[in-house]
Amino acid sequence: MNSTRNILLFAVLATLAASSAHAINIVVDYGFDTNNFFDTQEKKDAMQAVADRYSAVITSSLLAVGPGGTATGTRPSWRIGFTHPGTGAAYQLSTAADSTSDPLGGTANEYGFAGLAADQWIVFAGGRSLPGAAVGGTDTGLNYTNTYTDLDGPLHRGLVSETLSDSGRDLPSWGGSLAFDTGTSWHFDLNSTAGASDLDFYSIALRELGRALGLASTWNQWADNGAGLYIGTEAIAAYNADNGTSLPTLSLAGAINENWMEGAYDSFVFRDGNPNTMGTVPNDTMQDLLMEPLSNFGGSQNRLELTNVDVAALEDIGWSVIPEPSRALLGPLALALAAFRRRR
């Protein structure tokens, strides 16, 4: 009897440990916050909480890429390109020491970039005047010579494993940039809910960082059919599981707007991976999908979180993620309990 209980306990603990492990490390870099948007620790803590949320959900491993090589070989200097969060201008970092030693041609904005450590995904964050609340994304940069088809290189880092049909539009896996409107009245406190005149920073930053990771994007990995319909199997399965339906596709906001259709779909909050549920819906209530065009706060709901559908869409893109407890824990636990009863 005791040995059976020990086996059951070990199985549960092992499943819990597996569901809490993660590999990706999202690092927030404020080096381009030239307007000093993140001028308090509270603001940085809120941004870090968003990065940590995705770090706790995504389990993919990313290869290290130094200035001129990886474990699988060497290459010339390379660049990453992104939108400068403080100015809105295109910006390039080069791993070459200077322009004279850069074989790619042209002129980068900055030289001497050291590359990326294993599993490091970097996000440059800052603020400037914007027409909306925030904007996030990623890019490849110009002169990405000989890296588009290199699965171990700076663009892919081993994340994309399939044969590349249009390598110039495959999701980059180095990182991205986020900018937040300096004129918006933001609510940064993670342990309270936003008032009627403030916008919850965590909710908006969570959505825009998701966009930089490839959600609601125009990269090849976003599974749309080109006519405003989403065809990714994991997200569709998650929606149907939450709603008891059997939809074959999910509608997007439009043929060129890759967000989920506004107000059309709900899903449960993804409860694993340390969500910040202050001000979100209760456990037995569904919220709008995070990656919709608008953040619809109302009533007692003042914060949006990742939903099961949004996390499943990360799987469709190619990221590996921690499983929901219903899949990772309850299934093995039910089997273990059944075995325990049979032995009794």
> Looking at the chain, how many residues does it have?
344
pLDDT tens, N- to C-terminus, the chain (344 residues)? 344 333 333 333 344 444 444 489 999 999 999 999 999 999 999 999 999 999 999 999 998 887 764 444 456 678 888 999 999 999 999 888 888 877 666 688 999 998 889 999 999 999 999 999 999 999 875 544 455 566 667 677 888 655 555 556 788 889 999 999 999 999 999 999 998 899 999 999 999 999 999 999 988 889 998 899 999 999 999 999 999 999 999 999 988 889 999 999 999 999 999 999 999 999 999 999 999 999 888 777 899 999 999 999 999 999 999 985 454 443 344 334 334 433 44
pLDDT at position 239, please? 98
Phi, psi dihedrals of residue 2, rounded to the nearest 5°: -65, -40
Nearest CA among 286, 303, 28, 273 for reference residue 190: 303
Q: What are the DSSP calls for 115-136, one per residue? A: -B-TTEEEEEEEEE--SSSEEE
pTM confidence score? 0.85
Pairing of strands 175-181, 120-128: parallel
pLDDT at position 126, please? 98
Q: Where are the beta strands (DSSP E) in 131-243?
A: 134-137, 175-181, 186-187, 199-200, 229-230
Q: What angle do CA 167, 172, 177 make, to 5 degrees?
A: 145
Could you tell me the residue ranges of all domains in the chain? 22-219+317-321
Q: What are the DSSP calls for 80-114, one per residue? A: EEEE-TTT--EEEEESSSSGGG-TT-S--SEE---
pLDDT at position 144, please? 46
